[in-house]
Structure 1
Amino acid sequence: MSTKQYTYLRKIWKYDEGNYDNYRQILRDCDWNFDSLSVDDQVNLVTNNILHAAENSIPNKTVLIRPRDPPWMHNEIRKNIRKRNRQHKIAKISQTPEDWTRFKELRNKVIADIKTAKINHFKKIASNLQNGNISPKNWWKLTKQFFKEQNTSEIPIIIDNNEHYSSPSEKADKLNKYFNDQSNVDDSQASLPSFEEPNSSIEEIMITESDVDDTLSILNPTKASGSDVINPRLLKEGSSALAPHLAKLFNSSLSMSYFPSNWKKANVIPVYKKGDKTNVTNYRPISLISCLGKVFEKCVFKHLYNFINDKKLITPVQSGFTPNDSSVYQLIDLYNTFVKAIDDGKEIRAVFCDVSKAFDRVWHRGLLYKLRRMGVKGGLLGWFGSYLWGRTQRVVIDGSSSSYLEIKAGVPQGSILGPLLFLIYINDIVENIGSNIRLFADDTSLYIIVDDPEVAAGLMDSDLHKIHEWAKQWLVTFNPQKSEELVISKKSIPLDHPRLSMDNVEIKRVDEHKHLGLIFNTTCTWRNHFQEITGKAWKRIHLLQTLKFKLDRRTLEIMYNSFIRPLLEYADVIWDNCYDFEVEALEKIQIEAGRVVTGATKSCSASKILNDLKWETLKTRRYKHRLINFYKMIHNLTPQYLSNLVPQRVHQVSNRTLRNNDDFSIPYARTNLYSKSFLPQTVRDWNNLPDQLKLAPSLNSFKTLLNKDKRKPHKYYFFGNRQSQILHSRLRLHCSSLNADLFDNHISESNLCTCGSPETAEHFLLTCNKYSEIRNRTIDTIPLNYSIQILLEGNNLLSDSLNEEIFSKVHEFIIKSRRFN
């Protein structure tokens, strides 16, 4: 459903052209007298000073934004489209041949201009993608323009109760109301329990100029600004001039237990998820808050986190938002437990609990209570109250914004402190749980290894009841209807397990469940997971194929490595015990990507493609990933629960002196499933490593030694335009349309050139008389003695510039020969 085009004005800052010496000098000359000013007035003074310095140091302009226009559109094309449309009306009225001829000329010009604009646009994107200094955010933004040209950010008419809302301001109001409604909790009947005073406490924080300067120096300058329009680049560039004044402001805020009101305002950008685009429930909010406020939060975060970490106040079963932990680490531990139990002939019951809007519905009074119970008190606790209460948000669409609405619950989205505050809020859910519980932020899972089905069911039912009671106390909504149970078993006659329930709702038993991005099934095999990742990867490969002739080799390779290969490698250390046919299915995807990147045809072998690209097989990469993970486990670079899995050394479990005394004892495995899983297989692989690798003093040195035989791609293979790259690669890979290649690949009945000799690459490039004159002007001008191998592959002993010169002459010869037209 379309709506009319709304345009708006936007101020654009040319940060790359800024005079930052002048910017810093203006900041130093500004009035920074905070005496007698309230905290809010201090913030206004800081904001005005920064913007004043920016206005006088950084070029900026106001531009008209047309949200619906494709990215390649420009004013000249718009002007010609208007001319074409006017002429079309004239021709329809006059019906004269002259007017129709004029219309066709204008129409053809528009078509040609659009084609040229698209080509130039994609060339510009390709050039930007190769820029080593481009930020990850901008890289993905550019990449997605290839994978989806159309503007998916546009929000069409919003329909609610059969009412249509079409203007940007109307849509913003409806979406803001919906988002705000998700952040409400009914605490009218809630009460807080008593608690014992903690043994240690923190009641004040002093932020130093060094704290602020360190935080400013690591800011990401590409991040978006909030409602105060101060970009992080302005803060980073002005760090030396700003740090002392910001430190004074931050300490003033802390001493007065007051968080600045301007920093509690959020601009919300609605992002489409899936489903009907006219329905507000199919959008999620992205909150943009003040960068200055986030700098302040970062300084506070350091002090709060150090206190919590030193006192070990966060449960060790929490893997979300915790340093040195990750979703993959939790998955390694879970899967190892599951397959070990299966190996022991046991069954496992696992329940994955669904939580509604957990971050958005944190009860503020409850969170402050939990902060107090952890030891945060005095003025600092008051500051956190000010930080949480009185926050507002507005939705911004196409330059128009809704009115502000107050946020009455939740941790601030987009904030630095929000994730840590959420961990504090959910932390005590694990208390008195009898089965095994794992958390990843709000993802809550329970599991138990079953000895007696009745006992196990009773314990899990009891735990689910405790979680439900905890949720009622703290106003968290668990959804038993959406929670799922997985019974994992390899028994030919599985046990009869009583059903589980939560809040009198039976938990649905399923054959598969996706947990932290990995699909578990009832037998701990990977069929379901592979179906998903190969399906997604092939869709992206097909999109990559459409770009085969639009983009050069370097850009295509970057896109595969960044956009497709991660799909094939997420948590790969866990599922490396997959079946051989599943391994092959993944390798086929990588080889197809290699064909796109090199331009190789179907007749080219996988080994030639990998050799040309200097890519490792995915299997080799998984082997290395497992060893790197194990090195981290040995050296306590992973969470303790993972390091605890490292088995004892041989000399620790045997009284005899053996040649392999320092090896790790390999966990006993009865089944292939467990034997080939991460721990037993990686211990075997580790024991087979040379001592130099095992004794590597650091993770970086271990990685360097592990990759010492890895070949680097030749930079000069990226040289030239796309057509030349492909034709040259095909000659090198023996899959060109030369008759010798066609004959060898069983496509042609003869390998002969029209001159009578076998038409090999050597014949074509060096001896065929048909191309003597072209050869004299191109290849024969190369300033060294060359062989066919050098012409096709270059030579690592030569400089990159000389190799590029060789390739330039070869490319020129290939194109001018017109042999492959």
Structure 2
Amino acid sequence: MPQIQTDISIWCRSRGPLPGGNGAGPSASRGSTSATGGSVDSGTRGRQSRATGRTQHPATAIRVVQWNAEGVQRKKPELQAFLRDNNIDIICIQETHLKEDRRFFVRGYDTFRRDRPTGHKGGVLTLVRHNIPAAMTAQTADGDLEYITIKTFLQGEELSITNVYSPPTTKLDLHTIQLPNEKHLIVGDFNGHCPAWGYDSTDARGEDIQDWMTDNQLILINQPDDKPSYYSRAWKKSSTPDLAIATEEVEKRTTRTVNDQLGGSDHLPITLSIADMQTILEYHRKKASWNFKKAKWTKYQLHAESLRNITFTEDINHNVKELTQTILAAARKSIPRGFRKDYKPYWSQRLACLHQRLSEARESMEQSPSAETTTMHNQLKEDFNKTKTQELQQSWQEITSTIGLDTDTGKLWRLTKILNEDSMATRGPTVLEDSGTFHTGKRAANLLADVFETESTIKVPPQRKKEVAEQLETRLRQQRNAAPPMTSDLTMAELVDAIKRLKCKKAPGKDGVCNEMIKHLGPAARTKLLELLNQSWRSGVFPSAWKEAIIIPILKKDKNRKQKTSYRPISLLSCLGKTLERMINKRLMWHLETNNLITNEQSAFRKNRSTEDQLIYLTQSIENAFQEKKKVIATFIDLSKAFDKVWKEGLLLKLLTAGIAGRMFNWIKSFLCHRTARVKLDSNLSYAVKIREGVPQGGVISPTLFVVFINDITNSLSRHISKALHADDLAMWSAAESTATTKVRMQEALNITSKWATDWCVTVNSLKTVATCFSLSNSKETLQLTINNQAIPQEDTPTYLGIKLDKKLTWNPHIKEAEKRATRRLSIMKKLAGTKWGASSNILRQVYMGHVRPVMEYGAAAWATAAKSNTSRLNKVQNASMRIITGGLKTTPIHALEATTRLPSLDHRREEKVIVQYEKLQRLPSHPAHQHTQQLTKNRLKRSSFNHLAKQLERTQTSFLPRTPEEQEPLQDAEEWNSQLSKVLFVTDIPGVTSKREQQDAVLKNLTLEMMHQDYNASVWTHIYTDGSSDGAIKNGGSGILVRYPDGHTLSRSLPAGELSSNYRAELTALREAVSLVSEHPPSHAVFLTDCRSAVQSLQSPKEQLERDTQRLLCTLSQSTNVAVQWIPAHCGLSGNEEADRLAKTGSHLEQTRPTVSYSEAKTLVKRHYQTTWNAQHSLPSDDQMPNLQRHQQTILFRLRTGHCRLRAHMHRLGLSHTPNCLCETGPQTPEHILQTCPLHQEARTDHWPQGATLQEQLWGTKDSLILTTSFIQATKLEV
């Protein structure tokens, strides 16, 4: 069982009281000072009285606890309970025994720690409640004394707290502690003796402490008669090594109380209550959030429809305000708002009772020291720790079995993130340090706002500014009539498509309108929204309210949180404004792609382009150079804050140069200008600052604008320089036999790039820009390249687009890193399940595919040629994952693991990825990597490359694909601004219909017929049923069409869809041919009825040529006919659908053509081919019920099926059993023997199968049969 209590206690819950227990929790109230309901402060230092009721701690005091934990990791549950029930503000812990590589956090508290770098003990930790801003101001440098100092910011004052631990065997050097000239509290374990705090005599340490206090005018809070805080079980003696020291003002306001024991530590926790101090109220506020799961959307839609009554004025800002207020008013009436439940750490009543008994035993041991009381205390401590571990494990096991992760994927990934420690670093209010002054709250927010404003400012030379302004003015005068996408009104089809693409659970902008609210607007509200968006579009005015961003600062990885430059901004923009951006961005991309205005080297933010394309282009170029005895020098350029520092005037000029004119240019200009932002920090909003330059961070259209801005960065490079762009990631390389020649070319390219950067006010980060010489030679090449007169670092293993390269392209560094990351993530699966408890195999498989495998497959097509000795390391990680999923032993054959988990080998998947990538590049003639796919492979060296492997696989695996691929260019979006498209009605649902799995065919049929009678009455509408079919979903496609006219006349067609055809292609072919057929004699009303929902969806936003052709035909037909395309459920008894299906099957047997195949079709066919091949090699019943069993049952059954289990026959093969024979001595102890013939278990066998059962039924039968099998094994008490 892995160590889980520090990671998963946030998911654990109490299971009820211990039978016979008193129900007491760890502590009663804020006034209580013990996790077991112990003593409370009576107002006199050092004296205690038993709690008689719940006392409320004064609101004008803070509570600070000091405690030597003697190891805090395993005491976390009781610590959390103590903090919660005693309402502790700050706790200073000594002897944490933590290591730097182990995360530790307590929900609701900020963590400051200093771990001992060597040894196994020591360490100090201070936890500060999240409503108190705090910052670490000093810590141990070197030496024996361990301490950290934090500064806390309270209402109207500041308090510094130093947490000290001095081991008794080391030198006490208190003068190393930096003491600020302000209110100060020093607490810790000093291990010094002096009568002033209860000892009989003074030792050298005690004298040092007294001298140090005198020198620094500090006062001891401890009193001689205070209750001792430490008990030595070895010496059977109490003492007080734990001291509290303060400046005079703090000491006067502090009351010290020694509490009952906590977690079995020999040191007692001590509470220091400091009067007349209170936390800042603004940090107590909680913000209510919308609960969309409980929203009444019908009611919301009804209220939002009141938008139809609003009359818009010429003032667009006023109109935006009206629309926003109406939407929010409807939301407030229909969507509940609330607060998240306060976190409650795991602490059961059983643990509380045991902890109370341990406290009583501790008190008895101190009052009556003896071997008997010490033994009793030690035994209770052992029992408490054992019970705590068992309960945490049991609770976690229950949760992983019942939490419903298989039905709630959101919950699954949140839990995965927590287990991966991605969200453990919970932080309190931010404290920033600037020039020695600390800032919190609004002042800190203003400080960050100033930083972000400065970062958006660039210096443009006056002469360059004048040049660009003149060119801009000239271009504006030369504007011609703009194309329709830049001038025509926005359509409802565009709005519907934009709304469909909105993602839920995204934070709203300043106006508070969420995507969920926009998605659920009714027809009238959407019409009014479109009217507002068109007003912005026509007038070229982007509303002011949508220009203000709310910036959430995010701490950069491994950065100092006190530094104002350690944060990156995340901008929250208006969801309404982003909806408009999405619509216009689609038109902008259509113009750029249709006219081939984006450089071929750019792969970011473009359809059918990816980082993998660029990686293959680079690495294949290097491999080709190796084959030609050449060396390659590559430079990876880093542009500093490229998005945030885009020169707006320069961008506008480039837009005009690209032919952007008319309404689109005016709108983009307004969109870019006069933008403001406010920083939101700990619920505090800064003042508004101007964002002077840069494309708006978080904007939908911003990436496209950046692509336009950087588009010409490579235009002036010579033909000897190859280049690849992914957004602002620029790679340049050149190959030649002579390194000197290549260096000259590369330096010239760097000079050109530097000049471009200067001309357009872009900064090249010379420190992060690196150069590499790729060569098979073992000699070290010194490059000595420069940019901006600064040397470029030379790196043998550069990272490009997330892939670690090496100079010989062995891929060893990258695969090692991938293995390391995947292995780390594998621990998540181990925490989710054991062999006898935890999540089901389906959930574990989902976690592996979504969280572990992607790490091992990123960029796989580029490095698929890596040596088997390297890739085998990744295979081992997958094998380990499959054993976790199945519960199998390490000896289980890989073939059996793959078959049961339905996980193809990584080698198999890499092959598939290579051929899919190759098919894509075949269809992108403008992509620079395309030329590699057309070249013959070079074979001077016995090295494989992407091109070698792809061509080999093409011959052996995908010879069935045609060599006349359908080109994917230009990469156009649908022309949704075409007004004809808005006349076609696309419907993908039916009222009352949920799922074919949940509803019977008769119900589906009746609901469909009712809908058709109401919406498409057969007396008026012509019903056109279409269907498609293909063999194995990859070949011999057939399309069926059945037309039923209102007069009763019918028309049918069976058509071939192509020798290579998926079911989807056959469905689309049927729709296209049906539209053509009906268009010959257009009826007044026509509804196309198809059971392919994805076809209906794709026709609204077509990507492939077949989809675009069908949409175009529908638009033409809609000029004379009322057209609808309606989805219907398949095979539920609708006569028209069944007849179309029969016609499609007939069509699949007709003589087939061999049409060109699109990329998406080729991808589908390749995946289907590999899946079919793999299925043929891994036969498994399609109705296997094992995944539906509980975790322990799945493990038992899998081991019985494979024979790799703990029975004697298998253990003997491993040398772990002296004999293979069963105890009955009638044969080997195998699964078949135990289940079928062993006489020792005949009674249990008869109880479970009175009529007998075959081995096939026992291992592969129904769910009930499998449960009987696992129950039988448990009854035999055999460990399998």
If the length of structure 1 is used for normalisation, what is the TM-score? 0.86
For 2:1258, the equivalent position in structure 1 comes to 791
Question: 1:635-714 maps to which residues of 2 (within 5 A)?
Answer: 636=923, 640-647=927-934, 666-673=936-943, 676-689=944-957, 691-694=959-962, 696=1060, 697=1157, 698-699=1161-1162, 700-711=1164-1175
Q: Using a 3 Å threshold, how does the CA distance of structure 1 residues 814 and 184 change in structure 2: closer, same or farther?
A: farther
Native 8 Å contact 1:3 1:166 kept in 2: no
After TM superposition, give the deviation of residue 592 of structure 1 in Å.
1.1
Aligned-partner Cα distance in 1 for 2:755–2:339: 55
Q: Using a 3 Å threshold, how does the CA distance of structure 1 residues 108 and 336 change in structure 2: closer, same or farther?
A: closer
Q: Using a 3 Å threshold, how does the CA distance of structure 1 residues 536 and 149 change in structure 2: closer, same or farther?
A: closer
Q: Among residues 63, 71, 89, which one is paired with 2:339 in the alignment?
A: 63
After TM superposition, give the deviation of residue 118 of structure 1 in Å.
4.8
Q: Using a 3 Å threshold, how does the CA distance of structure 1 residues 498 and 164 change in structure 2: closer, same or farther?
A: closer
Listed one character per residue, the Cα deviations across residues 267-299 of structure 1 (whole Å, up to 9, x for unaligned) are 333334421452444443322222111111011
Q: Among residues 388, 392, 396, which one is paired with 2:680 in the alignment?
A: 396
Q: Using a 3 Å threshold, how does the CA distance of structure 1 residues 618 and 87 change in structure 2: closer, same or farther?
A: closer
Listed one character per residue, the Cα deviations across residues 275-325 of structure 1 (whole Å, up to 9, x for unaligned) are 145244444332222211111101111121112222222111111111111
After TM superposition, give the deviation of residue 372 of structure 1 in Å.
2.4
For 2:327, the equivalent position in structure 1 comes to 50
SS at match of 1:482: coil
Aligned-partner Cα distance in 2 for 1:50–1:78: 47
Aligned-partner Cα distance in 2 for 1:183–1:579: 47
Aligned-partner Cα distance in 2 for 1:525–1:166: 50
Question: 1:802-813 maps to which residues of 2 (within 5 A)?
Answer: 803-813=1262-1272
Listed one character per residue, the Cα deviations across residues 82-115 of structure 1 (whole Å, up to 9, x for unaligned) are 9989997999799999xx99x9999999988866
Q: Using a 3 Å threshold, how does the CA distance of structure 1 residues 28 and 156 change in structure 2: closer, same or farther?
A: closer
Q: Among residues 723, 728, 746, which one is paired with 2:1197 in the alignment?
A: 728
Native 8 Å contact 2:547 2:675 kept in 1: yes
For 2:1212, the equivalent position in structure 1 comes to 743
Q: Which structure has the larger Rg over C-alpha atoms? A: 2
1:182 aligns with 2:455: yes
Q: Using a 3 Å threshold, how does the CA distance of structure 1 residues 745 and 644 change in structure 2: closer, same or farther?
A: same
Native 8 Å contact 2:845 2:901 kept in 1: no
Q: Among residues 530, 533, 542, which one is paired with 2:815 in the alignment?
A: 530
Consecutive unaligned residues in structure 2, runs of 5 or more: 1-111, 113-126, 132-283, 369-376, 963-1058, 1061-1156
SS at match of 1:393: strand
For 1:371, the equivalent position in structure 2 comes to 655
SS at match of 2:516: helix
Q: Among residues 385, 389, 405, which one is paired with 2:689 in the alignment?
A: 405
Which deviates the most, 265-274 or 708-717? Answer: 708-717
Question: 1:266-281 maps to which residues of 2 (within 5 A)?
Answer: 266-276=549-559, 278-280=561-563, 281=565
After TM superposition, give the deviation of residue 142 of structure 1 in Å.
3.1
SS at match of 2:622: helix
Consecutive unaligned residues in structure 1, runs of 5 or more: 649-665, 796-802
One-letter code of the match for 2:313?
S
Identical-pair percentage: 24
For 2:544, the equivalent position in structure 1 comes to 261
Which deviates the most, 273-282 or 355-364? Answer: 273-282
Which deviates the most, 717-726 or 573-582? Answer: 717-726
Native 8 Å contact 1:609 1:733 kept in 2: no
Listed one character per residue, the Cα deviations across residues 583-614 of structure 1 (whole Å, up to 9, x for unaligned) are 22121111111111111222323333223323
After TM superposition, give the deviation of residue 388 of structure 1 in Å.
1.7
For 1:800, the equivalent position in structure 2 comes to none
Q: Using a 3 Å threshold, how does the CA distance of structure 1 residues 122 and 325 change in structure 2: closer, same or farther?
A: same
For 1:288, the equivalent position in structure 2 comes to 572
Aligned-partner Cα distance in 2 for 1:480–1:566: 32
Aligned-partner Cα distance in 2 for 1:209–1:150: 41
One-letter code of the match for 1:762?
E
Q: Among residues 689, 705, 730, which one is paired with 1:444 in the alignment?
A: 730
One-letter code of the match for 1:791?
Q
SS at match of 1:3: strand
After TM superposition, give the deviation of residue 164 of structure 1 in Å.
7.6
One-letter code of the match for 2:801?
L
For 2:905, the equivalent position in structure 1 comes to 617
For 2:1051, the equivalent position in structure 1 comes to none
For 2:413, the equivalent position in structure 1 comes to 140
Q: Using a 3 Å threshold, how does the CA distance of structure 1 residues 690 and 528 change in structure 2: closer, same or farther?
A: closer
For 2:532, the equivalent position in structure 1 comes to 249
Q: Among residues 564, 567, 574, which one is paired with 2:862 in the alignment?
A: 574
SS at match of 1:508: coil
For 1:220, the equivalent position in structure 2 comes to 503
For 2:1222, the equivalent position in structure 1 comes to 753
Question: 1:544-555 maps to which residues of 2 (within 5 A)?
Answer: 544-549=829-834, 550-555=838-843
Aligned-partner Cα distance in 2 for 1:285–1:817: 62
Aligned-partner Cα distance in 1 for 2:1229–2:440: 66
Aligned-partner Cα distance in 2 for 1:817–1:79: 33
For 1:519, the equivalent position in structure 2 comes to 804
Native 8 Å contact 1:9 1:62 kept in 2: no
Aligned-partner Cα distance in 2 for 1:402–1:724: 57
For 2:786, the equivalent position in structure 1 comes to 501
Aligned-partner Cα distance in 2 for 1:741–1:327: 48
Aligned-partner Cα distance in 2 for 1:78–1:439: 61
Aligned-partner Cα distance in 2 for 1:64–1:85: 31
For 2:917, the equivalent position in structure 1 comes to 629
Aligned-partner Cα distance in 2 for 1:242–1:743: 74
One-letter code of the match for 1:384?
I
Q: Using a 3 Å threshold, how does the CA distance of structure 1 residues 259 and 88 change in structure 2: closer, same or farther?
A: farther
Aligned-partner Cα distance in 1 for 2:579–2:357: 55
Native 8 Å contact 2:1193 2:1267 kept in 1: no
Listed one character per residue, the Cα deviations across residues 657-684 of structure 1 (whole Å, up to 9, x for unaligned) are xxxxxxxxx52311122xx211122112
One-letter code of the match for 2:707?
L
Q: Using a 3 Å threshold, how does the CA distance of structure 1 residues 809 and 427 change in structure 2: closer, same or farther?
A: same
One-letter code of the match for 1:640?
H
Native 8 Å contact 2:494 2:583 kept in 1: yes
1:820 aligns with 2:1273: no
One-letter code of the match for 1:682?
A
RMSD: 3.6
SS at match of 2:798: strand
Aligned-partner Cα distance in 2 for 1:645–1:729: 47
Q: Among residues 758, 762, 771, which one is paired with 1:485 in the alignment?
A: 771
Aligned-partner Cα distance in 2 for 1:182–1:248: 36
Structure showing the higher strand proportion among its residues: 2
For 1:316, the equivalent position in structure 2 comes to 600
After TM superposition, give the deviation of residue 184 of structure 1 in Å.
2.5
Structure showing the higher helix proportion among its residues: 1
Native 8 Å contact 1:429 1:467 kept in 2: yes
Native 8 Å contact 2:602 2:725 kept in 1: yes
Aligned-partner Cα distance in 2 for 1:38–1:93: 80
One-letter code of the match for 1:505?
Q
Native 8 Å contact 1:198 1:373 kept in 2: no
Native 8 Å contact 2:130 2:428 kept in 1: no
Native 8 Å contact 2:921 2:930 kept in 1: yes
Native 8 Å contact 1:198 1:374 kept in 2: no
Q: Using a 3 Å threshold, how does the CA distance of structure 1 residues 746 and 504 change in structure 2: closer, same or farther?
A: same
Aligned-partner Cα distance in 2 for 1:45–1:106: 62
Q: Using a 3 Å threshold, how does the CA distance of structure 1 residues 637 and 371 change in structure 2: closer, same or farther?
A: closer
For 1:661, the equivalent position in structure 2 comes to none
For 1:346, the equivalent position in structure 2 comes to 630
Q: Using a 3 Å threshold, how does the CA distance of structure 1 residues 171 and 598 change in structure 2: closer, same or farther?
A: farther
Q: Using a 3 Å threshold, how does the CA distance of structure 1 residues 123 and 181 change in structure 2: closer, same or farther?
A: farther
SS at match of 2:129: coil
After TM superposition, give the deviation of residue 265 of structure 1 in Å.
2.6
Native 8 Å contact 1:608 1:733 kept in 2: yes
Native 8 Å contact 1:8 1:398 kept in 2: no
Which deviates the most, 43-52 or 268-277? Answer: 268-277
Q: Among residues 288, 302, 305, which one is paired with 1:25 in the alignment?
A: 302
